[in-house]
Amino acid sequence: MNDLNLYDLAEKVIGGGEISRREALFLYDQPLEELCRCADRIRRSFCSNRFDICTIINAKSGRCSENCRFCAQSSHNHTGAASYPLLSGEEILAQAKRDREQGILRFSIVTSGKRLSDREVDLLCPVIRTIREEVGISVCVSLGLLHESQFAKLKNAGVSRVHNNLETSGRYFPRICTTHTFEEKVQAIRAAMRAGLSVCSGGIMGLGETPEDRVDMALTLRSLNIESVPVNMLNPIPGTPLESSALLTENDMRRIVAVYRFILPRASIRLAGGRGLLKDKGRSCFLSGANAAISGEMLTTAGITAGSDMEMLKELGYEAGLCNE
């Protein structure tokens, strides 16, 4: 790859070009500090200093039929995670109000399971309408592999975005889950888009995947026109098959988000699960290409308070706002 140059590739991206798989893998091996500086320059060029921060509520927990090897909520794993049915509309509304009062502009309703039933979707729709009318916060949902008709109902209720992680590359996915397929996830993403919704999709780093898998997932996201990309770091939860996995380092995560910025220059690259395991809570990643985060509590693990995140954003010169709407 002697014909490739880090700075030339940065100029190529800033000029509107796309990097190839070969170029992305070349970038993955470049000196970290130089790579991160170039990625941050690309971020400023396409995204300015706007920072998209969201919160989530675990609106239905546990007893999931799927066998994802990382997940505390899978019925195949034995983690002791809380299990409860769909929360009441009052509980979901109250959390949305609390988060909005802290300056949060995007709120995501997350449920366990392969997909919500039609009945559960119908229960959520009036809750979403009330949140939109009374709170004024943007609503995202992560409700599994829904059908297009279900996505259409949610859009009509006021949902603007659907979350559905690919988790890893298509090649590596069968090593992580066998109860549904990578293609089913892609089909659900396309169904949401046909219903007029934007999509948030990314994955988990540290599952045992290779750098090639990380690059390939990013290229799939680019082919799907995904512009909100969560980058999770595996938190090895006792009771899951991945409980003994080694933690990624801060520098590992910086390298990943920097390369993702080259591949996905216009995207909100969002630090999500596992960020609390980083000593600096993601600060260095926000100077290496990332420009979004999930704040507050995660699904089954502790997160970082919205107040702390808002203070960090100010210190880094960011301004909270919705991106890629």
Distance CA 29, CA 222 (A): 21
Mean pLDDT, rounded, for 264-282: 91
Cα angle value 42/47/53 (rounded, 5°) = 125
Distance CA 84, CA 80 (A): 12
Mean pLDDT, rounded, for 188-202: 97
Please give the structure tokens belonging to residue 111.
Answer: 């449920």
Mean pLDDT, rounded, for 286-298: 85
Q: How many CB atoms lie within 10 A of CB 314?
A: 11
pLDDT tens per residue, range 94-145: 999 998 988 888 999 999 889 999 999 999 999 999 999 999 899 999 999 9
Give the pLDDT score at 72: 85
Is the pLDDT reported for residue 22 higher than 90? yes
Give the pLDDT score at 144: 95
pLDDT tens per residue, range 78-104: 877 788 999 999 999 999 999 898 888
Give the pLDDT score at 63: 83
Give the pLDDT score at 77: 80
Give the pLDDT score at 1: 64
Crossing angle (nearest 10°) for helices 6-14 and 250-263: 50
Q: Which of 45, 26, 102, 67 is nearest to 259 (CA)?
A: 26
At residue 299 the predicted structure's pLDDT band, cuts being 50, 70 and 90, is low
Give the pLDDT score at 75: 79
The 10 Å CB-count burial string (b at 16+, else e) for 28-43 is bebeeeebbbbbbbbb
Give the pLDDT score at 78: 82
Crossing angle (nearest 10°) for helices 148-157 and 182-194: 40
Is the pLDDT reported for residue 304 higher than 90? no
Is the pLDDT reported for residue 300 higher than 60? no
Q: Which of 104, 35, 52 is nearest to 287 (CA)?
A: 35
| Cβ contact 208:175 at 8 Å | yes
Give the pLDDT score at 74: 85
Is the pLDDT reported for residue 298 higher than 70? no
Give the pLDDT score at 2: 72
Give the pLDDT score at 286: 95
Distance CA 292, CA 322 (A): 10
Distance CA 171, CA 158 (A): 35
Is the pLDDT reported for residue 256 higher than 60? yes
Homologous superfamily of the 19-320 domain (CATH): Aldolase class I (3.20.20.70)
Give the pLDDT score at 39: 98
At residue 321 the predicted structure's pLDDT band, cuts being 50, 70 and 90, is confident
Q: Would you list the domain boundaries of the chain?
A: 19-320
Is the pLDDT reported for residue 323 higher than 60? yes
State the average pLDDT for the chain: 92
Mean pLDDT, rounded, for 179-199: 97
Residue type, 311: E
Distance CA 198, CA 318 (A): 24
Helix locations, 29-101, DSSP H:
32-47, 89-101
Mean pLDDT, rounded, for 165-188: 97
| Cβ contact 35:27 at 8 Å | yes
In the chain, what is the greatest distance between 2 CA atoms, to the nearest angstrom? 60
Is the pLDDT reported for residue 176 higher than 90? yes
Please give the structure tokens belonging to residue 160.
Answer: 């603007």
| Cβ contact 186:145 at 8 Å | no
